[in-house]
């Protein structure tokens, strides 16, 4: 099965055929750096990180560009409120973004350009649009004329007449048409500005991405991605100004991830259900958040809640438990020259799911099948002496790690991850690790004294808190369920 992707432009899945065989150019809109990133940013960036990884996994040479919008109305407003420069504010939140993405395990894009480093490219692109009669200068501002681009709204499929009837011209704007959008904004007091043929000013939001994308990927490239909320106006306007300037198709495949809801409601600061990545990572391991995001298809809406994150933590724990069991068994078993096809079968199923528009939910389902197989095999009688079954576990273990790398999960040592997770869950019960050591000591004393009633009371008290005591050859351990 060849890779098929859902193209927002056509509204259907299409066979993926890059413009240049073996190579992929991909641009994903980055963040406007004026605040800490929220769960919606986490989803978009994890989704396209996995798409980047999978394209590389199946053999493509990928140039991945993800920008920083470091000049914008929101940045200027926030900087002025804090009494600092826009550069200082942007620098602060670029660093915060990089820290958040590193914790979520994102691979670095090929290029991470900043809008303010491409002012010359932006000015040149605006000039091309003016020369082609698709943009006009008005009072130091430059606007794109939507009437001179007949295919405007082809991505969002909106109705121009309906859009025009609801559009208004804001005070100070000198547009010919309420639907026209700014390519260049004349300087205002308290705002950063650069010299241009139309006087000092700064770029509009949309033109920044067009200029940066074309600088690194050319006038036409393969994939442009971002959240569903960017379809209009941002991506619609990118198409208009890019194709208006070049006369060429801008992007072959438009990919958009779905929205994040919080407890089945739209995330909003006014509703009090707005969560930054940093808020979430105070309670959950970064890999749990990443795993949670990947358990839904990227185009589907996803519901963020404590219950769903707890379920994701449980699911990820099942993987790490199986990996740990497999590792312990394989380390304790003699080497075998037996070969198993189980790994190839698992990888084929994984690829089939991912080739269907990057269906990570289905791909993870296949990985769970491998976990069930490992858990079944290691409990079978005579397993450690069965070379074929040992080879099957080894193949599944190695393939899980390999495919987990494509998804950006299973990156930790299983024993360390499970211990950290167990301690985090223990904290929620109100007990500490020292408390558990004391409970185990008291139970051992009770059993030694043949006070089995007291020993059972300790076990039952802990079980009521969701803590299971595990007696083994090396002594008693505990696990939070």
What are the contacts of 299-302 at 24+ separation with CB within 8 A? Answer: 299/6, 299/256, 299/257, 299/258, 299/357, 300/258, 301/258, 301/259, 301/260, 301/261, 302/43, 302/258, 302/259, 302/260, 302/261
Give the angle subtended at the CA of 35 by the CAs of 32 and 36, to the nearest 5°: 105
Return d(Cα 90, Cα 98) in angstroms, integer. Answer: 12
Task: Mention every residue, 6+ apart, whose C-beta is less than 8 A from residue 96.
Answer: 36, 37
Q: Which amino acids are annotated as binding site for ATP, given as ranges?
A: 269
At residue 130, φ and ψ (nearest 5 deg) are: -65, -45
Q: Which amino acids are annotated as binding site, given as ranges?
A: 29, 209, 234, 238, 269
Within 105-261, where are the H helices?
119-131, 160-166, 205-217, 236-246
Q: Which amino acids are annotated as binding site for Zn(2+), given as ranges?
A: 29, 209, 234, 238
Task: Mention every residue, 6+ apart, whose C-beta is less than 8 A from residue 412.
Answer: 287, 320
Return d(Cα 188, Cα 63) in angstroms, integer. Answer: 37
CB 206 within 8 A of CB 237: yes
């Amino acid at each position: 099965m060849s890779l098929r992707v859902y193209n927002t432009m056509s509204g259907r899945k299409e066979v993926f055929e890059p413009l240049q065989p073996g190579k992929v150019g991909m641009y994903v809109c980055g963040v406007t750096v004026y605040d800490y990133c929220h769960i919606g940013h986490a989803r978009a960036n994890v989704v396209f990180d996995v798409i980047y990884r999978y394209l590389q996994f199946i053999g493509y040479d990928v140039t991945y560009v993800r920008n920083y919008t470091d000049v914008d109305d929101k940045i200027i407003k926030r900087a002025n409120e804090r009494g600092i420069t826009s550069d200082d504010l942007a620098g602060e939140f670029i660093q915060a973004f990089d820290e958040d993405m590193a914790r979520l395990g994102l691979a670095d894009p090929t290029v991470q350009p900043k809008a303010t480093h491409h002012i010359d490219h932006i000015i040149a692109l605006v000039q091309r649009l003016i020369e082609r009669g698709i943009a006009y200068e008005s009072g130091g501002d430059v606007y794109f004329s939507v009437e001179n681009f007949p295919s405007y709204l082809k991505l969002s499929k909106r109705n121009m007449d309906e859009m025009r009837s609801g559009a208004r011209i804001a005070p100070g704007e000198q547009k010919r048409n309420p639907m026209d959008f700014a390519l260049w904004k004349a300087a205002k007091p308290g705002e950063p500005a650069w010299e241009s043929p139309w006087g000092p000013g700064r770029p509009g939001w949309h033109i920044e991405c067009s200029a940066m994308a074309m600088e690194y990927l050319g006038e036409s490239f393969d994939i442009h991605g971002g959240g569903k909320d960017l379809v209009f106006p941002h991506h619609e306007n990118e198409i208009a100004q890019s194709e208006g300037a070049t006369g060429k198709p801008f992007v072959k495949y438009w990919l958009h991830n779905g929205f994040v809801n919080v407890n089945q409601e739209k995330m909003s600061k006014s509703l009090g259900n707005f969560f930054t990545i940093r808020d979430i990572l105070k309670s959950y391991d970064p890999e749990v958040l990443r795993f949670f995001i990947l358990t839904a298809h990227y185009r589907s809406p996803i519901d963020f809640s404590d219950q769903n994150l707890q379920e994701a933590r449980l699911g990820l724990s099942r993987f790490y438990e199986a990996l740990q069991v497999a590792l312990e068994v394989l380390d304790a078993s003699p080497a075998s020259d037996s070969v198993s096809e189980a790994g190839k079968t698992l990888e084929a199923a994984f690829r089939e799911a991912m080739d269907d528009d990057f269906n990570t939910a289905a791909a993870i389902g296949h990985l769970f099948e491998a976990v069930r197989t490992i858990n079944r095999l290691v409990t079978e009688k005579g397993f450690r002496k069965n070379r074929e079954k040992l080879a099957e576990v080894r193949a599944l273990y190695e393939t899980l790690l390999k495919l987990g790398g494509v998804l950006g999960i299973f990156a930790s040592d299983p024993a360390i991850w499970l211990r950290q997770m167990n301690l985090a869950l223990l904290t929620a019960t109100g007990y500490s690790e020292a408390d558990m050591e004391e409970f185990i000591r008291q139970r051992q004393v009770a059993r030694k004294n043949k006070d089995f009633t007291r020993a059972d009371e300790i076990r039952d008290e802990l079980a009521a808190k969701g803590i299971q005591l595990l007696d083994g050859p090396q002594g008693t351990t505990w696990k939070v369920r």
